[in-house]
Amino acid sequence: MKRIRKSRAARSLSWLLTVAMIAPLACRLIGPEAAYAQAQVSGVQTVIVIDFVNKPGYLGEALARRATDAVAVELANSARFEVLRRDEIEKQAATLGLKKPYDDVAQTKLASALGATSVISGEISFVSPVQNASPKTVVAGLKVRMRAPGSPELVNGAAQVGEAKARPGQSDDESLAQEAVDNAAVLSVKQMLATNLTDGTIVSSVGPQTSLQILINRGSRDGVTTGMQMLVTRERQRVGKIQITNVFATDSEAKVIENTLGVRPEDKVRAVFPEPEFPKLAGIKGIKTGRTAPKGSVSSLGKLLVVLAAGVVIAAAVMGGKNSSVTGVVAEADVEGVTPTVRISWRDNFWGATTLEHQIWRNPDAPFNFQGEPIASKQYEPRYSDRPAPYSYWDGTRSFLRAPLPGSGGGTSGESEAEVVTPEAGAVPGFVIGQTYTYQITGVIRRPLAVANDGGSGGGGGNNSAGTQDVGTDPVSSSPVTPIAQAALVAPENMFTNVDLSRFNPTWLSSSGADVFVVEVSTDRTFKNRNLILQLGTVYSTAPLSTGVTQVLPGEVDLTTNPVLLRDAVFANYVNRVPGATKPTLYWRVGGRNDADRPGPVHWISRNHQDRDRTFRYVYSEVRSFTPAEMPPPPP
């Protein structure tokens, strides 16, 4: 045996076999799947914009083409879409022998030939003057639909109404209609960029394929609603469709309504975008809008809700409020100084009036366990900031209340009090930076203990309150949160004095857990005046799981013509070469976040956990300043 191991031929053969075994795996890692991962990170979609339809016929194909081009330009300017040129599409259509208008089959062929990931179509639904409007006003309704090639379901879309008011020199119907269409295109693309369809994973499936019941890891807090339809994919290929039947806070049940290749756990699901519909407009006739409730339905619904609320109150009273005592649990990434933190907020519900203590749990590190140890406990304070390891809330002196196990009964006095537990120092360490968590809040409440009364000496029977009972309430979970470190800025360096404003191109480093970044420039060093904050679009991280990888904008940016910065008089005077103008000081920073977190990091401006605006929900870097290079002389 020793002679074989020392043989050069045996060693060569073993190396050859090893390489043969790992080569297929290495090819898969660096081949198409790696390319797909890179494509996902980049986040730029290649789209074909098909000529829109002018339903009312006003101004004919010219107005439809104007709407098509306006939407295409706005999509391209967003840096989220690569829009293929019209002449390129028409040339490919001629090569394939396709004629306008392109049907679904033709659109699929075009997308496949041009490498497009989506096809965008649309229509001008109406063009109409507003009755009794002063000044004269024309509105135009625009619908935009975005589909994957060969799929009938929408992946995005918008329905927006553009408005144009008459003014001196522009009061004819044609000009106002064109302006209204342009405005509708801007609003439609803005709506599409703000759309974030719910996606998730199938956790489990029960039953035969003919009556399969599905459980997904998304619930009402993620925007899932009963009746919602979701596509099921596996390795980017569509395998079926499901419909939500029951919705809970953090997960949902569904039934299979289309089973092409078999639905199974770990398949991905994504909500189907509904057909876009217009809001109601006063003074406009003949516009198809969303469904409206029949007359009297509100009052009927109100009566039903009153009955249901009464039932809930009665049931909760019988249960003693032991199911849950908190609501509105929100977890947000933040920083204190330079230390990443997670801010958890909640509030007591009606049954939390007798709460003795709140307890915080972290999943997957320290998920709720009736006899386990939470990451922290708080009395009468509905907020806690979690910190990264090796920090631990438990310092050897702090304690929490451990409620008796359900059904364990009380002592001889009829009372059942919670046990005071003092964990050892460092019992549950803090979180890992860059990992995604959910937080759960429970409570320990004290309620009266009802005991049976057999009537004593001839008295009637019944229940009397004798003593109290401490019980632990059920956990209420937050949505996902990913604590991340601040992005490290590279260039321009702080107080740099020679920045070319017409070719601004900063660099910074990735932060583990952050999959999107935003670069902000302002003349306000505090970045608290949102009217003076320029956001240079969303940048998708090239290394969301790593720290220290250089990140850049998609291209250089000309700051001298930006309308946000030009709101500052000092900046405007300088770039417009006003004699004697002062050289301005500008400030820049980078915000990062995991875009799947909800609601996202703490809102920079409002710091309100109930603020639904995600514009400034980022973990921001330090702020650096710079001054511009000398402006070139004006042209002769």
Cβ contacts of residue 410 below 8 Å, gap of 6+? 404, 416, 449, 467, 469
d(CA 628, CA 622): 20
d(CA 418, CA 429): 24
Q: Is the pLDDT of residue 490 over 60?
A: yes
The pLDDT score that the predictor gives to residue 10 is 62
Single out the residue of 119, 115, 118 nearest to residue 103, CA to CA. Answer: 119
For tokens 């342009």, the residue is 182
Higher-scoring residue by pLDDT: 513, 450: 513
Mean pLDDT score, 116-138: 89
Mean pLDDT score, 433-454: 82
What type of residue sits at position 168? Answer: P
**Residues pairing with 469 in the sheet:** 416, 447
Single out the residue of 587, 417, 404, 610 nearest to residue 496, CA to CA. Answer: 587
Q: Percent of the chain beyond pLDDT 90?
A: 46
Phi, psi at residue 220, to the nearest 5°? -60, -30
**Residues pairing with 361 in the sheet:** 440
Predicted model pTM: 0.52
204-227 pLDDT, tens digit per residue, is 887 776 778 888 988 888 888 888
The pLDDT score that the predictor gives to residue 466 is 57
| Lowest-confidence region among 26-35, 171-180, 341-350 | 26-35
d(CA 422, CA 4): 61
Report the alpha-carbon angle 242-247-248, nearest 5: 135
Q: Is the peptide bond before 135 cis (omega within 30 degrees of 0)?
A: yes
14, burial (CB in 10 Å: exposed 0-12, middle 13-18, buried 19+): exposed
The pLDDT score that the predictor gives to residue 298 is 45
| pLDDT band at residue 360 using 50, 70 and 90 as cut-offs | very high
Distances, alpha carbon 233 to alpha carbons 142, 201, 441, in Å: 31, 10, 34
d(CA 162, CA 127): 10
Q: Is the pLDDT of residue 308 over 60?
A: no
Mean pLDDT score, 577-598: 94
**Residues pairing with 444 in the sheet:** 357, 472
d(CA 546, CA 41): 13
- Mapped onto helix, strand or coil, the DSSP state of residue 475 is coil
User: Do residues 245 and 254 lie in contact, with contact meaning Cβ atoms separated by under 8 Å?
Assistant: yes
d(CA 469, CA 449): 6
Expressed in angstroms, the distance from the first to the final Cα of the chain is: 89
Higher-scoring residue by pLDDT: 414, 351: 351
- Within 208-301, strands assigned E span 213-216, 229-234, 237-247, 252-259, 268-271
How, if at all, do strands 118-129 and 53-54 pair?
Answer: parallel
User: Do residues 227 and 252 lie in contact, with contact meaning Cβ atoms separated by under 8 Å?
Assistant: no
Number of H helices, E strands in the chain: 9, 31
Cβ contacts of residue 63 below 8 Å, gap of 6+? 54, 124, 127, 177, 178, 181
d(CA 183, CA 457): 85
From the CB of residue 279, how many other CB atoms can be counted at a distance below 10 Å?
Answer: 11
The tokens describing 306, both together, are 């009153």
What type of residue sits at position 3? Answer: R
432, burial (CB in 10 Å: exposed 0-12, middle 13-18, buried 19+): middle
- Mapped onto helix, strand or coil, the DSSP state of residue 344 is strand
Sign of CA dihedral 464, 465, 470, 476: positive
Mean pLDDT score, 374-382: 89
Phi, psi at residue 557, to the nearest 5°? -120, 135
The tokens describing 304, both together, are 């039903």
**Domains located in the chain, CATH noted:** 41-194 (3.40.50.10610), 199-271 (2.40.10), 319-454+461-477 (no CATH), 489-628 (2.60.40)
- Mapped onto helix, strand or coil, the DSSP state of residue 503 is helix
245-256 pLDDT, tens digit per residue, is 988 888 889 999
d(CA 268, CA 234): 6
Cβ contacts of residue 331 below 8 Å, gap of 6+? 342, 343, 344, 437, 438, 439, 478, 479, 481
| pLDDT band at residue 398 using 50, 70 and 90 as cut-offs | very high
- Within 13 A of 352's CA, how many CA atoms are on the CB side? 23
DSSP assignment, residue 502? G
Break the chain down into helix, strand, coil percent, rounded to 5: 25, 35, 45
548-562 pLDDT, tens digit per residue, is 999 999 999 999 999
User: Do residues 339 and 388 lie in contact, with contact meaning Cβ atoms separated by under 8 Å?
Assistant: yes
113-125 pLDDT, tens digit per residue, is 888 888 999 999 9
**What is the chain's Cα-based Rg?**
31
Buried b (16+ CB within 10 A) or exposed e, 202-232: beebeeeeeebebbbebbebbebeeebbbbb
Mean pLDDT score, 148-163: 87
Give every strand in the sheet of 489-491, ordered side by side: 489-491, 507-509, 550-552
d(CA 447, CA 466): 11
Mean pLDDT score, 23-39: 42
d(CA 442, CA 368): 8
